[in-house]
Amino acid sequence: MNRIEDEWLHLKRDELAGRVFDDEYELAIAIIEGIENRAVQGQYQVERFMFN
């Protein structure tokens, strides 16, 4: 498993487990918050960017 797959596994299991989202926007916000929370816990920096 590469690093992003491992991160996604922990994100799904630890940050998103048991939650229900009304729409894709709420899911996206939860993913962003989960990544930011994991970054704080792991003491690393994350940066968000958008594809055009």
Q: Is 52's pLDDT higher than 90? A: no
In terms of residues, how long is the chain?
52
Structure tokens at 8: 């996604």
Rounded to an integer, what distance in angstroms lies between the CA atom of residue 13 and that of residue 7?
A: 10
Q: Domain segments of the chain: what residues?
A: 3-42
Name, in order, each residue with C-beta under 8 angstroms of 14's C-beta and a sequence gap of 6 or more: 34, 38
- pLDDT tens-digit readout, 36-46: 999 999 999 99
- pLDDT tens-digit readout, 1-37: 788 899 899 999 999 999 999 999 999 999 999 999 9
pTM of the model: 0.80
Identify the band that residue 50 occupies on the pLDDT scale cut at 50, 70 and 90.
confident
- Residue 7 has a pLDDT of 87
Phi, psi at 25, each rounded to 5° = -65, -45
